[in-house]
Amino acid sequence: MTWRFAIVLEPAAPDDSRTDFTAGFREIDPSAPALSVGELSTQRGDGIFESIGVVDGHAQEVQAHLERLAHSARLCDLPIPHLEQWRQAVAVAASHCPPVGEGVIKLILSRGVEHGPAPTAWVTAAQAPDNTRVREDGIRVVTLDRGYSLDTPGRAPWLLLGAKTLSYAVNMAAIREAKRRGADDAIFVTSDGFVLEAPTASLVLRSGDRFVTPSPNAGILHGTTQLSLFDHLADIGHETAYETIPAATLAQADAAWLLSSVRLAAPITAIDGVELPVDRELTASINAYLLSPRD
Ligand code: PLP
């Protein structure tokens, strides 16, 4: 990934009434070392983040990402981000993304330096990888046990399920395991056999004219891309639903996609070795929608 730009923010209190926060953004060299060795983000993965897709200089679904950042902060007992400050940081970062083509903006809020006075916050902008091939040709996935049951999030909120934390080592390990099994990506399932999400994406299934995704109350991230796509599908007359989906029914879907902010819609060509039909036309129209400016 080519890093183009990075700024550090002094996190503002939620009641800060300034209208312009840009004077407080400190630009840093994205290729130079920047974090203190005592940073809890690197020592413990103790922090949260967002990845925002940028298309032709337009940052997509900024409000939804900011709201999810605030949601993750609440779950992790981090100071609630001042949304206007972060919105302005996103706008500055977007102006450093390629004016044509795709970019990615990352927002990171960590608990800061050990025993330090304040959290650490920074925003980066980079060129996005070329995802054209996966959007067209699709991906093979395998199901992997996430190791907890459907009711775990309610019983054990300290697991921070549903927060977008910096602790993605498990998610990355799942993708490596999927590759060892000859697939490209994974779908997590609960130990009692229900579908959750992919390690870095949401899952959407189509049955006839109906589009379903696992209920986000099961300790998964509520994907901004899935939310946006469901709005669009409803606008053009399709039925959409959140459901508790048994893993045993996955292969019966008429079509399926993994959805995320930067890769967008990757059609699934096989689940656990069972081939799934790919609707190339529908997939192309979904990606055309996701590539259009979205707020
Ligand atoms: N689920 C997980 C675990 C993710 O990491 C992501 C994105 O990174 C998503 C779902 C999809 O979220 P979004 O569409 O907001 O990118």
* pLDDT tens, residue by residue, 107-147: 999 999 988 888 999 999 999 999 999 999 999 999 999 99
- Measured from the Cα of 68, ligand 1's closest atom is 15
* pLDDT tens, residue by residue, 139-174: 999 999 999 999 999 999 999 999 999 999 999 999
**What is the pLDDT of the chain when averaged over all its residues?**
96
The domain segmentation of the chain, as residue ranges, is: 4-128, 133-290
Task: Specify the pLDDT at position 215.
Answer: 95
Whose C-alpha lies nearest to ligand 1, atom 2?
200
Residue type, 89: A
Whose C-alpha lies nearest to ligand 1, atom 4?
200
Whether residue 64 has pLDDT greater than 90: yes
Whose C-alpha lies nearest to ligand 1, atom 9?
201
Task: Specify the pLDDT at position 2.
Answer: 74
Tokens at 219, concatenated: 């300790």
* pLDDT tens, residue by residue, 9-60: 998 998 999 999 999 999 999 999 999 999 999 999 999 999 999 999 999 9
Q: Is the CATH number of domain 133-290 3.40.50.300?
A: no
Q: Is 115 left (phi over 0), alpha (psi -120 to 50) or beta?
A: left
User: Residue 3 and residue 23: Cα distance in Å, rounded?
Assistant: 22
Whether residue 193 has pLDDT greater than 80: yes
Confidence bin at 1 (pLDDT 50/70/90): low
- Measured from the Cα of 50, ligand 1's closest atom is 8
What is the phi/psi pair of residue 33, to 5°?
-60, 140
Domain topology for 4-128: D-amino Acid Aminotransferase; Chain A, domain 1 (3.30.470)
* pLDDT tens, residue by residue, 214-228: 998 768 999 999 999
Task: Specify the pLDDT at position 36.
Answer: 92
C-beta of residue 258 within 8 angstroms of C-beta of residue 129:
no
- Contact partners, residue 72, CB within 8 Å, separation at least 6: 48, 78, 163, 164, 165
Task: Specify the pLDDT at position 219.
Answer: 87
With 0-12 / 13-18 / 19 or more C-beta atoms within 10 angstroms meaning exposed / middle / buried, residue 238 is middle
**Probe residue for ligand 1, chosen from 65, 261, 263 as the CB with the greatest number of ligand atoms within 8 Å:** 261
Task: Specify the pLDDT at position 216.
Answer: 87
For the segment 198-223, the average pLDDT, to the nearest whole number, is 94
Confidence bin at 3 (pLDDT 50/70/90): low
User: Distance, CA 18 to ligand 1 centroid (Å)?
Assistant: 31
